[in-house]
């Protein structure tokens, strides 16, 4: 089984691949957020699921930060609709997941990406799962990169 640290490394490589382009440059280095998954933050999620591995990946933040991120991505800040914001953030998490998938596919060649979705509200993490949260500080605000995997994926 894959180590959560390998998932984390792959996910952070996905963030670095977008840094300075779709994502603004990070301020400092990503920090492991020991307090766990932030509650009540909206964000986009995508699943990576295979025969041996599964992971839910989320990018969550205050909605105003997600709005700023979207404006930065599309080069327009006036009159952004909720649909534009949620679609843009879903695409970001989908790209991060795609980069991560390419980096870990050898561990489970059956690994497939699901469709990204945007969620508002409190996330409940199932018992028997392992999670990691990285705080990503950017000039536009703070983002949280969340991974939730089956406990068996820890190693």
The pLDDT value given to residue 155: 42
63-74 helix and 82-104 helix, angle to the nearest 10 degrees: 80
What are the DSSP E strand ranges found in 2-128? 31-32, 43-49, 54-60, 112-113, 117-119
Structure confidence at residue 8 as a pLDDT band (50, 70, 90): confident
Q: Please count the other Cβ atoms lying within 10 Å of the Cβ belonging to residue 75.
A: 6
Q: What whole-number distance in Å separates Cα of residue 97 and Cα of residue 135?
A: 17
pLDDT one-digit tens code per residue, 38-69? 888 999 999 999 998 888 999 999 999 999 99
The pLDDT value given to residue 2: 55
Structure confidence at residue 152 as a pLDDT band (50, 70, 90): low
pLDDT one-digit tens code per residue, 84-134? 999 999 999 999 999 999 988 888 899 999 999 999 977 777 778 888 899
Please give the C-alpha separations between residue 59 and each of 68, 84, 109, 133, in angstroms, as whole numbers: 14, 16, 25, 10
* Per-residue tokens: 27: 């301020």
Residues 134/33, Cβ–Cβ less than 8 Å: yes
pTM: 0.88
Q: Which domains does the chain have, with CATH numbers?
A: 4-154 (3.40.1550.10)
Structure confidence at residue 154 as a pLDDT band (50, 70, 90): very low
What's the distance, Cα to Cα, between the start and end of the chain in Å?
Answer: 5
Q: Fill in the DSSP letter of residue 126.
A: P
Q: What is the mean pLDDT of the chain?
A: 87
């Amino acid at each position: 089984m894959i180590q959560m640290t390998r998932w984390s490394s792959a996910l952070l490589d996905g963030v670095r691949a977008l840094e300075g382009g779709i994502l603004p440059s990070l301020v400092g280095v990503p920090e492991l957020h020991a307090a766990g998954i932030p509650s009540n933050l909206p964000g986009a999620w995508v699943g990576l699921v295979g025969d041996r591995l599964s992971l839910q990946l989320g990018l969550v933040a205050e909605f105003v930060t997600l709005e700023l991120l979207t404006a930065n991505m599309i080069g327009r800040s006036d009159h952004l609709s909720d649909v534009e914001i949620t679609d843009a953030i879903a695409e970001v998490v989908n790209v991060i997941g795609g980069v991560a998938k390419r980096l870990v596919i050898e561990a489970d060649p059956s690994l497939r990406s699901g469709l990204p979705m945007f969620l508002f509200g409190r996330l409940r993490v199932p018992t028997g799962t392992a999670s990691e949260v990285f705080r990503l500080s950017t000039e536009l605000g703070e983002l949280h990169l969340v991974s939730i995997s089956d406990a068996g994926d820890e190693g």
